[in-house]
Amino acid sequence: MMLQFDIDAVQTPYYVVDERLLIKNLEVLKSVMDRTGCRILLAQKAFSMFSLYPLIGKYLSGATASGLLEAKLGYEKMGKENHIFSPAYTESEFDEILQICDHILFNSFHQWAKFKAKALANGKSCGIRINPECSTQEHGIYDPCSSGSRLGVTLKNFRPDLLDGIKGLHFHTLCEQNSDALVTTLNAVEKNFGEYLYQMDWVNFGGGHHITRQDYDIETLVACINRIKQKYDVEVYLEPGEAVALNTGFLVSTVLDLVDNGIQIAIMDTSAACHMPDVLEMPYRPNIIHSGLAGEKAYTYRLGGPTCLAGDIIGDYSFHTPLKIGDKLIFCDMAHYSMVKNNTFNGMNLPSIAKINSSGQVEIVRTFGYEDFKNRLS
């Protein structure tokens, strides 16, 4: 990959999102909207770099939130359609939600009954999250359809007698998947809940659609959306998070020290545990520009973070030339599920946040320091 920005413009560690790459993704998503008339929302839990919300809002219909605080951010910084889903709302937060959200999704008929009067009195478009009990993936932790799941109403718990006032059904069952998994899921949704779709104004297909990935089959997605729209006379929503920011960002870091303990170890100024927790949680191995798998190139290193956690290891990587203290390494695809999940364990500072503007210039958006660490403690 050709480096398209000046990596020395900001002190490491920093996340940098390339607006040009983000626009490419947004254009793909916009083309799906244009071809189908569907509405696409940013799922903020994956990517909340709000300095880019005005740009994202030029292409997408709005944002969705996993709770009150994200909903406030979407309201303040994007100001378009503002949806919210939560497994359970509290009385105290619900009044605030009424001020800022237009679509409110409920995870149970209990919750719906509890908040129905307030929601309808305030003119909200309300929906129920359903669970089609159709697993299309292996990763239990990311599968809302696994048995015993708390996410979505199953057919057994569905209450057709309580649908009065409900305008939409929502399902979210996918994670980094192609449109074949959507076809399978829609079949299960229609089999279990199809008869209720006729009385809805909208259906939300959730997130997990890897629409901007190179091999994603967009034609099948478009056909699915158009078919559901026509058959049930509903609006269709999609709410991808990852697909918005996929392959648009990097985490740039510096080699702080080199240690030989039977293997070559490089200690970086970035931490898997603090700055890219999905590397340990998913888990996965991020790509590094100009690197290979362990043993593939001449010099192999285990890359670790500067925290006390023994397992704060990013992975084993090989390089054509030996690493030197001060070398910079660029981790790829670090825009989504990175900034939103980072933390200051060990008193680690948070990476700065930068963007590459449309003329290729690096701009620092935000730096962090002691006050940010201190302010979330007491």
Residues at the contact surface with ligand PLP, assessed by CB under 6 A: 43, 45-46, 85, 172, 175, 206-208, 239-243
Q: Please, what is the minimum distance in Å from the beta carbon of residue 299 to ligand PLP?
A: 35
Nearer to ligand PLP, 167 or 172 (CB): 172
Length of the chain: 378
Nearer to ligand PLP, 127 or 206 (CB): 206
Q: Which of 274, 255, 267 is nearest to 348 (CA)?
A: 274
Residue nearest to ligand PLP (CB): 207
Q: Please, what is the minimum distance in Å from the beta carbon of residue 307 to ligand PLP?
A: 26
Q: Which tokens hold the place of 162?
A: 């309580």
Provide the terminal-to-terminal Cα distance of the chain, rounded to the nearest Å: 45
- The number of C-alpha atoms within 13 Å of 105 and in the hemisphere containing its C-beta is 29
Q: Please, what is the minimum distance in Å from the beta carbon of residue 58 to ligand PLP?
A: 20
Q: Please, what is the minimum distance in Å from the beta carbon of residue 191 to ligand PLP?
A: 21
Q: Please, what is the minimum distance in Å from the beta carbon of residue 329 to ligand PLP?
A: 26
Residue 296 labeled ligand binder: no
Residue 363 labeled ligand binder: no
| Residue tagged 């159709």 (tokens) | 134
Nearer to ligand PLP, 65 or 255 (CB): 65
**How far apart are alpha carbons 62 and 71 in whole angstroms?**
11
Nearer to ligand PLP, 211 or 303 (CB): 211
Nearer to ligand PLP, 208 or 249 (CB): 208
Which is it for strands 299-304 and 264-268: parallel, antiparallel or unpaired?
A: parallel
Q: Please, what is the minimum distance in Å from the beta carbon of residue 76 to ligand PLP?
A: 20
Q: Which tokens hold the place of 29?
A: 């998503």
Nearer to ligand PLP, 249 or 305 (CB): 249
Q: What is the DSSP string of 88-133?
A: ---HHHHHHHHHH-SEEEESSHHHHHHHHHHHHHTT-EEEEEB---
Q: How far is CA 133 from CA 101, 126, 207, 228, in A?
A: 28, 22, 16, 19
Residue ranges in 200-300 assigned as alpha helix (H): 218-232, 242-245, 272-275, 278-281
Numbered residues of the known binding site: 242, 278
Numbered residues of the known binding site for substrate: 242, 278
